[in-house]
Amino acid sequence: MIDEKTAAWRLAQELRQWQEFGLEKAISTATNQLSLLNTTLEQQKQAIATLVHLQKIGITEAEIGQLVKLIGGWNSTATPRSRQWRQHDSKWFRTSIII
């Protein structure tokens, strides 16, 4: 059996540990959210760079719009397996145009 002072001390330590764990979890969650945001921003930057490049090589905004609709149609009607391949193909397309 432990005395009240020891029990209170252990409880205080336990509460501190829980508080630290909660803070670590909050930091981890925020870090993950920032990482996702960074990924999204990088994808947007790449998309903008691709659009600028397409315009530089003479493709009109209307043609770019048609291309976006075409690729968007592939992604919305595809099964999960074929969607994965089409995303891969669109990456190839984006890379091949930039080169």
Domain extents for the chain? 1-45, 59-99
List, as one string, the DSSP characters of the chain: ---HHHHHHHHHHHHHHHHHHHHHHHHHHHHHHHHHHHHHHHHHHHHHHHHHHHHHTT--HHHHHHHHHHHHHHHHHS-HHHHHHHHHHHHHHHHHHH-
pLDDT surpassing 70 at residue 98: no
Residue type, 68: V
Q: For all residues of the chain together, what is the average pLDDT?
A: 77
pLDDT surpassing 60 at residue 6: yes
| Its pTM surpasses 0.75 | no
Is 50 in contact with 94 (CB distance < 8 Å)? yes
Residue 79's pLDDT is: 53
For 58-89, write each residue's pLDDT tens digit. 999 899 888 888 888 887 665 555 444 444 44
Question: Which of 71, 94, 75, 72 has its CA nearest to residue 84?
Answer: 75
- Average pLDDT of span 19-38: 84
State the residue for tokens 């909050």: 26
